[in-house]
Amino acid sequence: MQVSSDYTLDLIAAVKKVPVEVANEIYDGHSKNNPHFKKLYDSLVPYRNDAYAWQQVAELGFDTFQMRMRART
C-alpha cells in the first residue's frame, strides 16, 4: 500500500498539534491559578511569537543551502 505524501504530512501535523494544544491547556490552567505564572507567561508569549518569526528568517538561508547541497550528493 502506498501512502500519499499529503496524507503523511497531514498525519504528522495532526500528531504535532495534540501536544501543543495540551500544553496550552496546562498553561491556561496555571495562569488562572497562579498570578506569578500568568505574569511570566503573558510576557513570554509575544516574545516567543517574535522569536519564531526571526528564527524562520535566520534559518531559511541555511536550510535552503542544505537542501541544495543534499540534492547534489
Q: Are residues 29 and 41 in the same domain?
A: no
**What is the count of structural domains for the chain?**
2
pLDDT of residue 73: 62
Examine the domain organization and report whether 29 and 51 are in the same domain. Answer: no
Quote the pLDDT of residue 2: 63
pLDDT means over runs of 10, the chain (73 residues): 72 92 97 98 94 87 86 69
What's the pLDDT score for residue 72?
A: 72
How many CA atoms lie less than 13 Å away from 14 in the CB half-sphere? 6
Q: The domain containing residue 40 runs over which residues?
A: 35-73
Grid cell in block for residue 25: 491547556
44 and 56 inside one domain: yes
